[in-house]
Amino acid sequence: MANAWFETVAIAQKRAKKYLPPSVYGALVAGSEKGVTIEANQDAFAQIGFAPHVAGHKPHRELSTEVMGIPISMPVLISPTGVQAVHPEGEVAVARAAANRGTIMGLSSFASKPIDEVTEANENTLFQIYWCGTKDQILQRLERAKRAGAKGIIATLDWSFSNGRDWGSPWIPERLDLKTAAKFAPQAVTRPKWLYTFLKTGRVPDLTAPNLQAPGGEAPTFFGAYGEWMGTPPPTWEDVAWLREQWDGPFMLKGVTRIDDAKRAVDAGVTAISVSNHGGNNLDTTPATIRVLPGIAEAVGDEIEVLLDGGIRRGSDVAKALSLGAKAVMIGRAYLWGLAANGQAGVENVLDILRGGLDSAVLGQGKSSIHELSPEDLVVPEGFFLRLGDPGKLSGAVVDSKNSSSRTAADTNAAANGRVPVPKPAPASAASRS
Ligand SMILES: Cc1cc2nc3c(=O)[nH]c(=O)nc-3n(C[C@H](O)[C@H](O)[C@H](O)COP(=O)(O)O)c2cc1C
């Protein structure tokens, strides 16, 4: 049997493409419209360089940290995604892998597995909710998450109803019954290994969202839930503050890309934000998250924890995000590729790749801890950073960091060394105050 281990996330993605039926693979790639943002998220990391030392490296490197009061062995969390048709064990396999590697599981509202099974697999589970349905329904879901032992909430509020894709959206049935299975069959038979993993369990992919089930009711279908979400009037900032008050524990707001929104999130009382564009599924042409991170971290990083997601495929990407002010990162497609390629072991494989790459980056920079990483360790192209929604700037939403008033002596030195100054991120200790 071929070796199931893979050495990079790119290889896991190739295997996922080969293994999954095209429509399932297509649903994971997703992205909206032209796919500019999904590409930009990854390209932006490739544009940032390192300037590694040749000697004086530290023999031991500290990679552990704490997010939303939960100690974790590495600054990489599982971002919530609905993974219905990738693998029969779905989110439970992902949760186990995250637990085995000492990190946090983010469970989507649209997940295929009930939250109780997931918290049993990983006690450090954060439950993700959308602003979907009535306030009573939202309260029921929070209540259920609490009973199941979720340690915190991720409220994903960015608008992610993509308006079609230039490469065509995959066909996914509302339910997998005999009729739709027959329509799906030509795709499925071209992927016999995928089909076999499901057939072994005696089940077809369950396209329902059990965590949105009303007490005594039936689990809605994925598309039924999606329709309800789209039909719910969008939340106001007062609604965000209300939502936050309903959970007496750590609370993350996911989807922030602007400084003004980050400040309003602080006012609403959140514990953490994730700088995120939903992995390129929000408005296409929204800039890469890493380009807006430093301005946001500078503005609110001493009051709340600032995380980032979008485009993380390597441990060096994690190091870059941390150097620019993120406390930790969240991954989406990277673990989905791992799950498709090799189930739970594939997700562990991805987390190991990220850990190894992060450790190498910390070593190369001559640091003994992720908490020592700083922007001055990076080589960044001119005009790379963007400050969106900075109320201090009159010229509109976007201001080049060259014009930032937050320049320090270190920035000036960096500029003199041919590197571009970046906004100063909050010190790691300050970020953990909340
Ligand atoms: C297939 C897919 C499904 C997703 N589903 C959700 C979801 O249900 N809830 C959510 O908050 N984010 C969802 N996301 C966004 C991810 O949590 C995360 O923000 C994004 O994947 C990060 O970008 P990356 O895939 O480049 O790592 C989804 C992303 C993908 C690719």
**256-274 residue pLDDT tens:** 999 999 999 999 999 999 9
| Cβ of 21 below 6 Å from ligand 1 | no
Give yes or no for residue 140 having a pLDDT over 90. yes
List of residues 6+ apart from 246 with CB closer than 8 A: 138, 139, 142
Q: What pLDDT is stored for residue 205 in this prediction? A: 72
**Using a 6 Å cutoff on CB, does residue 156 contact ligand 1?**
yes
Q: How far is the CA of 81 from the centre of ligand 1 (A)?
A: 5
- With a 6 Å cutoff on the Cβ, whether 30 touches ligand 1 is yes
Residue 195's pLDDT is 73
Q: Is 110 in the pocket of ligand 1 (CB under 6 A)?
A: yes
Residue among 76, 281, 308 to mutate when testing ligand 1 (max atoms within 8 A of CB): 281
- pLDDT band of residue 386 (cuts 50, 70, 90) is very high
Q: What is the pLDDT of residue 329?
A: 99
Does the beta carbon of 131 sit less than 6 angstroms from any atom of ligand 1? Answer: no
Give me the pLDDT at residue 187, please: 67
Separation between Cα atoms, residue 211 and residue 111, nearest integer Å: 7
Model confidence pLDDT, tens digit, residues 79-115: 999 876 789 999 999 999 999 999 999 999 999 999 9
Q: Which atom of ligand 1 is nearest to the CA of 311?
A: 26
Whether 255 lines ligand 1, by a CB cut-off of 6 Å, is no
From the CA of 155, how far away is ligand 1's center (Å)?
13
Which pLDDT score, from 0 to 100, does residue 320 have?
98
Given the CA of residue 278, which atom of ligand 1 is nearest to it?
Answer: 19
Q: Could you give the residue numbers annotated as active site?
A: 278
Cβ of residue 80 lying under 6 Å from some atom of ligand 1? yes
Mean pLDDT of the chain: 87
Distance 82 CA to ligand 1 centre (A): 8
Residue 211 beta carbon below 6 angstroms from any ligand 1 atom: no
Q: What pLDDT was estimated at residue 30? A: 80
- For residues 218 and 255, the model is more confident at 255
Question: How large is the average pLDDT for residues 349-366?
Answer: 98
Q: Which atom of ligand 1 is nearest to the CA of 310?
A: 23
Task: Convert the pLDDT of each residue in 168-225 to its tens digit.
Answer: 877 666 665 656 666 666 666 677 777 777 767 766 677 789 999 998 888 988 878 8
14 compared with 29, residue with greater pLDDT: 14
For residue 431, what pLDDT is reported?
A: 29
Q: What is the mean pLDDT of residues 57-72?
A: 98
pLDDT at 325 > cutoff 60: yes
Least confident range of 12-21, 69-78, 224-233, 285-294: 224-233
For each of the domains in the chain, give its residue range(s) and CATH number, in order of start: 9-167+208-372 (3.20.20.70), 382-423 (no CATH)
Q: Is the pLDDT of residue 333 over 60?
A: yes
Indicate whether 417 pLDDT > 80.
no
What percent of the chain is predicted at pLDDT more than 70? 83
pLDDT at 406 over 80: no
**pLDDT score, position 165:** 84
Which residue has the least CA distance to atom 8 on ligand 1?
81
| Alpha carbon of residue 255 to chain centroid | 9
Separation of CA 279 and ligand 1 centre (Å): 6
Query: Is the full-model pTM beyond 0.85?
Result: yes
More confident residue, 297 or 203: 297
